[in-house]
């Protein structure tokens, strides 16, 4: 029978782990700041999607449908090379953060919209009949209930955001993916490098997915109390 032997290149690991660690930090940083843009903007867009005002509803719907209909890689190139020629974006990393934030906001908006619409309409009507304005009923009655159903999907969206961030390497953001590409170019060991890249992304998203599952269980238990 043929004999297979797995050889671990410890020297390659020693030479590259610091580069991968730096790339991981960039990936997390870009994803985190993009999330800080995506969540508040997505909440506003989600509220706009269910607003009474037809103009506001139409504008928010148009944004969500337009952004969701564009491949992320195209949006990255358009904002960096197109918008970046008109408005200073501050470099590759800020451009990546803005793009990921604007892109993810469209998906956050749909999560918020579905969460709001999951709240029974009678709750809002009861709040209005008690003298609350539309904004007050949304703030004190509808949104707190919608929050229970939207937090787990929002956490899952962050995981998707991390995976989507791998595309920002196309504009030379020195994230995990670009680090791997550069290492392959300098070492010619594509199998080893890309395997390490896959393992790092898997480990990162696996841990976050477990945290999301714990979050979902806690909210499910809270909903039955």
Name the residue among 185, 169, 182, 113 with its Cα closest to residue 146: 113
Mean pLDDT for all residues in the chain: 84
> What is the four-CA torsion angle of 24, 28, 34, 36, rounded to 10 degrees?
-170
- In the structure, what pLDDT confidence band is assigned to residue 155 with cuts at 50, 70 and 90? confident
Q: What is the pLDDT of residues 110-141, one digit of tens each?
A: 998 888 777 777 766 676 777 777 667 777 67
pLDDT at residue 210 in the model: 87
- In the structure, what pLDDT confidence band is assigned to residue 220 with cuts at 50, 70 and 90? low
User: Percent of the chain having pLDDT more than 90?
Assistant: 46
Q: Is domain 13-224 classified as CATH 1.10.20.10?
A: no
Region 201-220 average pLDDT: 83
pLDDT of 190 over the 60 cut: yes
CA distance between the termini of the chain? 61
pLDDT of 142 over the 80 cut: no
pLDDT at residue 42 in the model: 93
Q: What is the pLDDT of residues 93-114, one digit of tens each?
A: 999 999 999 999 999 999 988 8
- In the structure, what pLDDT confidence band is assigned to residue 216 with cuts at 50, 70 and 90? confident
Residue 137: CB partners within 8 Å, gap ≥ 6?
124, 127, 128
pLDDT at residue 141 in the model: 73
| CA dist., res. 107 & res. 67, Å (int) | 9
pLDDT at residue 149 in the model: 75
**Side-chain-facing half-sphere of 21: CA atoms under 13 Å:** 6
Region 210-217 average pLDDT: 80
Region 79-100 average pLDDT: 92
Model's pTM, two decimal places?
A: 0.83
- In the structure, what pLDDT confidence band is assigned to residue 4 with cuts at 50, 70 and 90? very low
* Contact (Cβ atoms closer than 8 angstroms) between residue 153 and residue 39: no
């Amino acid at each position: 029978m043929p004999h297979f032997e797995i050889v671990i290149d410890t020297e390659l690991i020693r030479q590259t782990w610091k580069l991968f660690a730096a790339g991981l930090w960039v990936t997390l940083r870009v994803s985190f700041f993009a999330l800080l843009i995506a969540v508040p903007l997505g909440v506003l867009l989600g509220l706009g999607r269910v607003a009474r005002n037809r103009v506001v509803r139409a504008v928010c719907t148009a944004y969500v449908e337009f952004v969701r209909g564009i491949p992320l890689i195209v949006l990255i190139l358009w904002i960096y090379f197109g918008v970046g020629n008109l408005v200073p974006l501050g470099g590759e990393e800020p451009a990546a953060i803005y793009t990921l934030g604007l892109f993810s906001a469209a998906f956050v908006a749909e999560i918020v919209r579905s969460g709001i619409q999951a709240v029974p309409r009678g709750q809002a009507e009861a709040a209005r009949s008690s003298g609350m304005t539309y904004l007050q009923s949304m703030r004190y009655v509808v949104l707190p209930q919608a929050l229970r159903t939207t937090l787990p999907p929002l956490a899952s969206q962050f995981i998707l955001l991390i995976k989507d961030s791998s595309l920002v390497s196309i504009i030379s953001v020195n994230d995990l993916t670009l680090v791997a590409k550069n290492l392959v170019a300098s070492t010619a060991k594509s199998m080893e490098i890309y395997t390490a890249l896959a393992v790092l992304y898997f480990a990162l998203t696996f841990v976050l997915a477990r945290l999301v599952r714990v979050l979902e269980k806690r909210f499910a238990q809270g909903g039955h109390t």
